[in-house]
Amino acid sequence: MQFIRKNSHYIAWFVALLAMGGSLFFSNVLGYPPCVLCWFQRIFTYPIVFILAVGIMHKDIKVYRYVLPLAFVGGAISIFHNLLYWKIIPDALAPCTTGVSCTTHFIQWFGFITIPFLSFLTYVLIIILMFAYKKYHAHE
């Protein structure tokens, strides 16, 4: 557990990098067009990759201060997207009025893993890892 706390910024960077690569793979290789909510989630995910990279290079132990706000806002968008996707929120509240629908099913692995769910998991992992990193460096 100590290893994870100590290196959680590296793990969070890898998670964000994987999410960025995955989103680019889905859209540019598989040809799945991103919906409006997917674009907003990308807007909050992509900078995390670069902020963590700069924080790691400069040994900035306060990097979580810049990552957490992005992760919380992106996470909130992903929660809304999943609720919409699972029909808990009605389609009438979807911001996707042009282009691809926010509820289009491109993938559904194991019956529940979808693109919006992967985004949600990304934000949850990054938030947990950043709090672990913050706790590890609280005395510095």
The β-bridge partners of 113 are: 109
Q: Is the domain covering 2-136 a CATH 1.20.1550 domain?
A: yes
Query: pTM value?
Result: 0.89
Sign of the four-CA dihedral 109, 112, 116, 118: negative
> What is the pLDDT at residue 66?
96
Q: What is the pLDDT of residue 139?
A: 66
What is the predicted pLDDT for the residue at 90?
Answer: 78
How much is the pLDDT for 101?
67
CA distance 78 to 113: 13
What are the residue boundaries of the structural domains of the chain, listed by start? 2-136
Q: List the chain residues with pLDDT less than 50.
A: none
CB atoms within 10 A of CB 24: 13
For the segment 43-67, what is each residue's pLDDT rounded down to a tens digit? 999 999 999 999 999 999 899 999 9
